[in-house]
Structure 1
Amino acid sequence: MKLVKILLFFFVGILISCGEKENPSFTKEDLVLIPEPKLLEVNKGSFRINRETKLIIPVDSLKPLTNILNDLFEKSAGFKMSVSEESPENNFIQLQEDSELGEEAYKLSATTDRVILEANSRLGFVYGLETIRQLLPKEIESASKISNIDWLIPNVEIKDEPQYSYRGNMLDVSRHFFEKDYIKKHIDRMAFLKLNTLHFHLVDDQGWRIEIKKYPKLTQVGGFRVDQEDKHWNARTENEPEEEATFGGFYTQEDIKEIMAYAREKGIRIIPEIEMPAHVMSAIAAYPWLSCTEEPIAVPSGGVWPITEIYCAGKESTFEFLEDVLTEVMELFPGKYIHVGGDEATKTNWESCPDCQRRIREEGLANEHELQSYFMKRIEKFLNKNGRTLIGWDEILEGGLPEEATVMSWRGFEGGWEASKQGHDVIMTPTSHLYFDYYQGSPDHEPVAFNAFTPLHRVYEFRPVLDSMTVEQKKHVLGGQANLWSEYVPNEEHSEYMLFPRLAALSEVVWTPENKLNWEDFSVRIQKMMERFDIMGINYARSAYAIQPDSEINLETGEITTALKAEFPNVEIRYARGDSELSENSAIYKEPIKIESSSCLKAAVFKNGEIMGPIMDNDFQFHKAAAKPVTYKYPYNDNYKGGEETGLVDVLRGSKYFKDGRWQGWINNPAVITINLEKPTQLSEVVVGSLEEQGTGIYFPQKIKVEISEDGKTFEKVGEITREFQNNSSAKIENFSVEFDTQNNIEFVRVTVEPLENNPKGGGSWLFLDEIQVK
């Protein structure tokens, strides 16, 4: 009997262990769901998908949704689940309709023998299926077959719905054109993150991207510009109308129909933006009679400011043209909203235009601001007559809002606050949090971007509603949207880099209940999600792994202290000094590092022995002028003081970001700097550090002259260099060396740095300096 009990216990143990092997359990920490569901419970066990697993749908119209999973399984697992309306006893994933749920809500119950997904709409089913996708092993994203893997879904109970009805992303395809296939790929990724709106910026000064059959020149002429891609966006020169324009592209109406059909299957609505009255030089280049002057212009190749070439608001032909264009647009985009821009219109031409002034008089308008309001209200009436709602940037508040317009608040939150107070719906998209053309890390390690910062954690801090809003105002806030303007985004790979992982952060803050938002928890999940992005082939940024050094110098002792951190909290940072290689065996950073002599400091975030992001490589060069007194003939600009009196000799170097607080700037004057070495000194070289960013008017020096003196009164020139202007499309730091015969007993050095005299775009040239080394 005792032997029987032992054998029984043995066989029960085998059965239990086999069951655990067949249906292993998971913890919440094992799950990588973004956005975080509203309610999530993890239970023991898991559901296994195999060749016999069936997909059960309630109605035939939902059959296309099964491709959300089956397209993935066909590539990565080598099979597709069969689709049926009849459910077997077990081993199935079933879609069930539940009329009690909200339009975008879903419930998901996964047990060992079945998965039940309930929803009340196509959208709810899409989001539930995308959640199942994220619950599966990341290898499900593989483009080729994976062997020896269990396709398991953890046993979970999920009840989920979004916090906000508008969860968007704007893609600017005007400044740089992106092909149709990339747009479809991006729609897939939006659905993966439960975003629901693609704002399609189809028209701007630099390109008209949508075919309008009644006005073929809009794409024939307006869709292309002269290729100046070798220059910084804001350093490009004006084109002549007769120059050959070859750079660009556009979507045919058939392309748009294909994109729209694809988006519908993924639960993504598309809102077209047809800019007016400004940002339309591409249209005026095609049809000059649309402007006040009717003079021929070319499609610009780069930045334009101020934007004075705008539609004439006085001529009826302008409105006939726009109604024709919008009629074709509405046929292609049957949704509720049409975005008409309304931003950044400089009204100089309106002020001198007889037609515009006549319109102001006849309509009893006070000024050109009210003329723009008349313009937008007239367009709104046309859209309303066709059952559509106008969306505009927050400038449409100026002069009076169109009656039923929705406001997209980009210049901060204020426009959204005011519009909601007036009873208008609002979409928040502030530059401070949601402009993805901004840098997400130090420009020293990033591709060229707009000169401002939107790091990952800043996106995660975004909240669409403001505490100062009333209950009624908050009801008008539809949600939020991230904008990727493409001035500095020349290709699709770069577009991915600027969008991810920041788009994932936005997806969570507009979907997940606010009381569940937690940056540290998100940081853990997004790092794991990046492993899935790798398999998905997304060229995401690792900027949140970049080391952010904080260095300061004690001017009395000459000692530098450097603290290190990354944007992600609780990561492993290793560092190496001097000539030592940075590796997984390097010292782990625990406290600020002290530097007392010339040295190189390298550091990076490590995970499992692998470097996760860019390597910080800072070179601290102590020299004979370090921390010595400095006087200036011409003061540096109040906005660019860069450490003030000792900023040029404090050993600490500026980055490629000209607003980082390290750079000293001059305009309309040379920099004439005198350094008191305080004792007789031998020297033979002076090195001047300078920054160039041609798009913002910052240029390398044209000439550098070095003079020396024993008494500070009589100076002798010992060296001089000159430099010819060169095109430069990115931010760049360069050290300019002036070498000369060795000089003895020198106590004073005067350095004269002359700015570029002939700025290619006209106007003054900024001169930015940091660190003058005396050797």
Structure 2
Amino acid sequence: MDDLLPLPRLIETGAGSTEIAVGAVVSGPASLRDTVRLALGVLDPRPGDAATAALRVEEDLRLGPEAYVLTIAGDGVRIEAGGRAGAFYAAQTLRQALPDEAFRSALPPGTSWTIPCGRVEDAPAFAWRGAHLDVARSFLPKREVLRMIDLMASHKLNRLHLHLADDQGWRVESRAFPLLHEVGSHRPRTVVSHRGEDLAFDDVPHGGHYTLADLAEIAAYARARAVVVVPEIDVPGHASAVLAAYPALASRPGERHRVLDRWGISPVILSPLPATVDFLLTVFGEIAGALGEAPYFHIGGDECVLDDWAASAEISAYRASLGLESVGDLHAWFLRRLADALAERGSRAVVWDEAFVSGGLRPDTIVMPWRGEHVARRAAAAGHDVVATPVFPMYFDYAEAASPQEPAGLGDAITVADVAAFEPAPASWSSEERARVIGTQFQLWSEHIPDGRALDYRAWPRGCAAAEVAWTGGPAASEDFARRLGRHLGRLDAIGVEYRPLSGPRPWQRGGAGRRRHRPGVVTVQEVMRHLHELSLSADSTRPSM
């Protein structure tokens, strides 16, 4: 019980032991019992009555919905949970108390283990414990998304932020506007050169999208594992794939657009006129309907080049008719209009921090400040709930070491230790500001994540450190966390996760030569954060958020 990850609030050891066998009997309310069975995976307990049950689960409404008490005694295992999520997490803790083999997909009949008695009381510090998965730049098949949900759930992470649209691809079916997936979901090639070199392309078509039925399946699969899917359609910028399908929505009419085959920020932007708003709200409704429930909907708002808005006589006239003074005000109005409509449908808007700087957000809009602590604190002080998503240390597209042995990453370096030392709600903030931090999440931007093996390498074990910070609410104790993480890697081995070893990449995980090789020092995270801090300081810090 001393190597659990993430670390529970309270662990007590007891005298004696009990036996847990594959197919043991579990009793309790059906919904909680079934949740425990699902969480225990290969153990697959059979439903039964309390008299014969080795595992008993009970509901205790005095506990929070994600809280639980796990008691291992000589006569069996007892779980008290405040809800389905708490029961699921209790079962995950129990599974970690067993040998690594409990994380395999199948075991010989009759397998059983003896485990020592003890007690765990636990609840998360943050409500939002997330992972961001960019499937727009590099599409990942549904099986990889479902597997990511499994790995998140085993680490008590509960928000899957799916980045479904960007310049390089649109990734979800639309029955109202089918050209979105028929045209916008694929590109003829992808850039493979590094920065500072002449552009070189692989000349390999890339594409894919999820049907609405796929999205419904992903959401249901996630809900069963206490994970909420947060869809993102990033607007009004990052719109090349949308405009390749529906060019009439562009701010500059009459131009042809294409799904981008290279990375970076594009000046292409959607028009803010009513036809665009109606279009987006129709698509948002399709996505939310497929998810079944969408408590959160991310609308982006970042990296928008507003030049085409300023140059358009029609858009300028529309801006004036709304009583707005600048294109920045129009940007804020556009996002507020979408957020208001989402709220009417029961979804809470989420944005990147540029949208906060533009001002005019609904008070209930959640802000993801990727440019660091300075803008995060401003958003919290303005009364917005904040999910901490800074480049350092939560952007996992950066390499884990400044070494040519690493596969190519955006820059270097963000290590496991960097993530474990992260403080989402800094102690230097006021209590009111700290209370506005509702969680944190790590970002997996996919310029350098072409497939599931690369996803494993980028996400884990840094994701283990992020889960620890998100669950406990602050930095992990370095020596104790390092010890527990070393033990936890055996569980990942049993699952089959191709994580990055703490000592460095395995021979077949190395970058090799050419485009797959990391080039240390070309972009350092310190330089990036210094630049982003300067940008956030130069932004209009006096604009109110209404």
- Provide the TM-score with structure 2 as the length reference: 0.89
Q: Does 1:165 align with 2:28?
A: no
Residue 529 of structure 2 corresponds to: none
Q: Is the 8 A contact 1:545 1:614 kept in 2?
A: no
Q: Structure 1: how far apart are the matches of 2:323 and 2:382?
A: 23
Q: Structure 2: how far apart are the matches of 1:310 and 1:660?
A: 27
Distance 1:521 1:40, change over 3 A: same
Identity %: 32
Distance 1:433 1:52, change over 3 A: closer
Q: Structure 2: how far apart are the matches of 1:81 and 1:364?
A: 63
Q: Structure 2: how far apart are the matches of 1:236 and 1:199?
A: 34
Distance 1:493 1:47, change over 3 A: same
Counterpart AA for 1:287: Y
Deviation at 1:503, TM superposition (A): 0.6
Deviation at 1:332, TM superposition (A): 2.0
What are the superposed Cα offsets for residues 166-191 of structure 1, whole Å, 9 maximum, x if unpaired?
Answer: 10000000001111111111111111
Q: Structure 2: how far apart are the matches of 1:235 and 1:177?
A: 25
Residue 264 of structure 1 corresponds to: 223
Aligned partner of 1:312 among 271, 274, 290: 271
Q: Is the 8 A contact 2:398 2:411 kept in 1?
A: yes
Q: Structure 2: how far apart are the matches of 1:196 and 1:140?
A: 22
Counterpart AA for 1:60: A
What are the superposed Cα offsets for residues 358-402 of structure 1, whole Å, 9 maximum, x if unpaired?
Answer: 122222222211110111111111112222211100001223131
Residue 420 of structure 1 corresponds to: 380
Distance 1:238 1:308, change over 3 A: farther
Q: Is the 8 A contact 2:192 2:200 kept in 1?
A: no
Q: Does 1:292 align with 2:251?
A: yes
Distance 1:111 1:275, change over 3 A: same
Q: Does 1:469 align with 2:429?
A: yes
Distance 1:372 1:524, change over 3 A: same
> 1:450-469, aligned counterparts within 5 Å?
450-469=410-429
Q: Does 1:83 align with 2:55?
A: no
Q: Is the 8 A contact 1:290 1:317 kept in 2?
A: yes
What are the superposed Cα offsets for residues 491-526 of structure 1, whole Å, 9 maximum, x if unpaired?
Answer: 1110010000011101111112548x3111111111
Aligned partner of 2:286 among 316, 328, 332: 328
Residue 38 of structure 2 corresponds to: 68
Deviation at 1:659, TM superposition (A): 4.4
Q: Does 1:55 align with 2:18?
A: no
Q: Is the 8 A contact 1:338 1:389 kept in 2?
A: yes
Q: Is the 8 A contact 2:26 2:47 kept in 1?
A: yes
Counterpart AA for 2:47: V
What are the superposed Cα offsets for residues 193-235 of structure 1, whole Å, 9 maximum, x if unpaired?
Answer: 0011000110111010011110000010000001236545896
Matched residue pairs, number? 515
Q: Structure 2: how far apart are the matches of 1:51 and 1:203?
A: 43
Residue 110 of structure 1 corresponds to: 72
Aligned partner of 1:479 among 423, 439, 442: 439
Residue 390 of structure 2 corresponds to: 430
Q: Does 1:136 align with 2:107?
A: no
Counterpart AA for 1:228: T
Q: Does 1:202 align with 2:158?
A: no
Q: Structure 1: how far apart are the matches of 2:349 and 2:198?
A: 34
3-state SS of paired residue (2:412):
strand
3-state SS of paired residue (1:169):
strand
Counterpart AA for 2:4: L
Q: Structure 1: how far apart are the matches of 2:182 and 2:242?
A: 10
Distance 1:236 1:175, change over 3 A: farther
> 1:698-737, aligned counterparts within 5 Å?
none
Residue 388 of structure 1 corresponds to: 347
Residue 444 of structure 1 corresponds to: 404
What are the superposed Cα offsets for residues 378-433 of structure 1, whole Å, 9 maximum, x if unpaired?
Answer: 11111122222111000012231312311111000222211111111111110011
Residue 492 of structure 1 corresponds to: 452
Counterpart AA for 2:323: G
Deviation at 1:529, TM superposition (A): 1.0
Aligned partner of 1:249 among 196, 208, 222: 208
Residue 770 of structure 1 corresponds to: none
Q: Structure 2: how far apart are the matches of 1:536 and 1:50?
A: 19
The structure number with the bigger radius of gyration is 1
Distance 1:72 1:51, change over 3 A: closer
Deviation at 1:150, TM superposition (A): 4.4
Distance 1:660 1:362, change over 3 A: closer
Residue 184 of structure 2 corresponds to: 222
3-state SS of paired residue (2:71):
strand
Residue 580 of structure 1 corresponds to: none
Q: Which is bigger in relative contact order (C-alpha 8 A, separation at least 6)?
A: 2
Residue 705 of structure 1 corresponds to: none
Q: Does 1:362 align with 2:321?
A: yes
Q: Is the 8 A contact 1:271 1:335 kept in 2?
A: yes
Deviation at 1:101, TM superposition (A): 0.7
Aligned partner of 2:145 among 179, 183, 187: 183
Distance 1:234 1:105, change over 3 A: farther
Q: Is the 8 A contact 1:546 1:614 kept in 2?
A: no
Deviation at 1:71, TM superposition (A): 3.4
Q: Structure 2: how far apart are the matches of 1:464 and 1:389?
A: 21
Residue 85 of structure 2 corresponds to: 123
> 1:593-612, aligned counterparts within 5 Å?
none
Q: Stretches of 4+ moved more than 4 A in 1?
A: 146-150, 229-239, 611-615
Counterpart AA for 1:113: D
3-state SS of paired residue (1:49):
strand
Q: Structure 2: how far apart are the matches of 1:420 and 1:193?
A: 27
Q: Is the 8 A contact 2:398 2:412 kept in 1?
A: yes
3-state SS of paired residue (1:450):
coil
3-state SS of paired residue (2:405):
coil
Counterpart AA for 1:50: A
3-state SS of paired residue (1:118):
strand
Q: Does 1:46 align with 2:4?
A: no
Counterpart AA for 1:81: P
Distance 1:347 1:112, change over 3 A: same
Task: Judging by fraction of residues, say which structure has more helix.
Answer: 2
**Runs (5+) with no aligned partner, structure 1:** 1-27, 74-79, 548-610, 616-654, 662-775
> 1:543-692, aligned counterparts within 5 Å?
544-546=502-504, 656-659=519-522
What are the superposed Cα offsets for residues 36-90 of structure 1, whole Å, 9 maximum, x if unpaired?
Answer: 1000011222221236731112x223343143355313xxxxxx43212x2126x
Point out the more displaced range, 411-420 or 485-494.
411-420
Counterpart AA for 1:137: P
Distance 1:452 1:441, change over 3 A: closer
Residue 592 of structure 1 corresponds to: none
Residue 769 of structure 1 corresponds to: none
Q: Is the 8 A contact 1:369 1:398 kept in 2?
A: no
Q: Does 1:409 align with 2:359?
A: no
Q: Is the 8 A contact 2:26 2:33 kept in 1?
A: no
Counterpart AA for 1:72: V
Question: How big is the alpha-carbon RMSD for the aligned residues of Structure 1 and Structure 2?
Answer: 2.6
Q: Does 1:353 align with 2:312?
A: yes
Q: Does 1:507 align with 2:470?
A: no
Counterpart AA for 1:188: D
Deviation at 1:660, TM superposition (A): 8.7
Q: Is the 8 A contact 1:339 1:391 kept in 2?
A: yes
What are the superposed Cα offsets for residues 296-331 of structure 1, whole Å, 9 maximum, x if unpaired?
Answer: 1110112133x2101012x22111111111111221
Q: Structure 1: how far apart are the matches of 2:461 and 2:298?
A: 26
Q: Structure 1: how far apart are the matches of 2:141 and 2:463?
A: 20
Residue 278 of structure 1 corresponds to: 237
Q: Structure 2: how far apart are the matches of 1:344 and 1:476?
A: 24
